[in-house]
Amino acid sequence: MVKRIIGALMVILALGAMVWTSMVVNYESQRGTDNTVLVSGNQNISGSTSDLIASLNFSGEAEPLTWSSLEISISVGEEVFPCGFGAQSVKSDGSQKVQPKLGVDGVTFTTVVDATDDTSFTYFDLPSQSQSNETNYTMRFSKTDVFFGSGVRWAFFESASMESIDSVNDEALSNDTEQRLEWYDYDLAVHRVNPKEGVYVIETNDSLYKIQFVSYYNSEDQTRYPTMLIQAFNDTAFPALNDPLLVSPSPCLVIAGDDDLLYWNATETIELVENDVQIVTEGQKFEILVAYESQEVNVVLA
């Protein structure tokens, strides 16, 4: 009788382990979008440097997507031409532990930090969007441990979005940088680290910035790569945006279909136009690449 009970318990535990493993392996990230982008290519490309390349819109039911989290580019042969409202990221050195990428809006960085080292921190200078050192940094990272640097003042606005915060009361900012940030929740059911919903506002060197953690994983779903959206307040200078090693004029302009420059709305058609750069010549094949929150978006020809 005892053997039967033990045997039954072992079967239950084995089944439970199989279910849990399946949940972990088949976990689907909540990042990205189910939207499908329809591409209508221009059939009358002239070979100039200001051609309309393509028009894009969503197919069927769609959600609005924030421009700050979008990446759009045109692939021609082995070259890829980023598209934006005016600025693009310069391709960075892949060996660096801080990898910023500018969104279509031209003012918001999606920044991935390599925090894989168990024994030391990766130091990050936020205004310059670059790796720093232990004597001069805005934030430091190791695995899930994140700390603000000395001299930073900060506040966390729970459930807020980047777009919803345009001012902050000076009295709301704390100068406590001794404690690690409680920036995430751990989902034991699927063994995942999920960022808390909300936005950090920080003050450093008399400048204000917004930070939203969006993931603990890189584009290959590897752990220990905290990923953030970072944006300066409107009246704050953002040195990284003026660094020619990080940002340059976009060779492809995104022409919005309405006056809302926060969202690509569900029924909005946008255009991709050459910006004094010959991207596509007559008869040349090209591909439109779209990503949202660093996740690939389904793109089909209309």
Contact 33, 58 (CB under 8 A): no
Q: Are 66 and 163 in contact (CB under 8 A)?
A: yes
pLDDT score for 16: 45
Tokens of 61: 């039911």
Q: Supply the pLDDT for residue 1.
A: 59
| Contacts of 89 by beta carbon, 8 Å cutoff, 6+ apart | 82, 100, 101, 102, 246, 247
DSSP-based three-state secondary structure for 152: coil
Q: Locate 215 and state its tokens.
A: 């993931």
Q: Which two tokens stand for residue 68?
A: 């700050």
Residue 179 CB coordination number (10 Å): 9
Q: For domain 36-86+250-301, give its CATH number from 1.25.40, 2.60.60, 2.60.40, 3.10.20.
A: 2.60.40
How many CB atoms neighbour CB 298 within 10 A? 13
pLDDT at 5: 61
Domain extent listing, the chain: 1-30, 36-86+250-301, 87-242
Q: Which of 192, 175, 172 is nearest to 184 (CA)?
A: 192
Task: Return the ∠ at Cα 300 (arms to 297 and 302), rounded to 5°.
Answer: 140
- CA–CA distance, 112 with 148 (Å, rounded to integer): 16
Instruction: Return the residue matching tokens 């584009």.
Output: 219
Residues 6+ away with beta carbon under 8 Å from 49: 274, 275, 276, 277, 278
* Separation between Cα atoms, residue 254 and residue 270, nearest integer Å: 7
Q: What is the mean pLDDT of each run of 10 residues along the chain (302 residues)?
A: 58 47 48 96 91 97 96 96 94 87 95 96 98 96 97 97 92 96 95 97 96 94 97 92 95 96 96 97 94 95 88
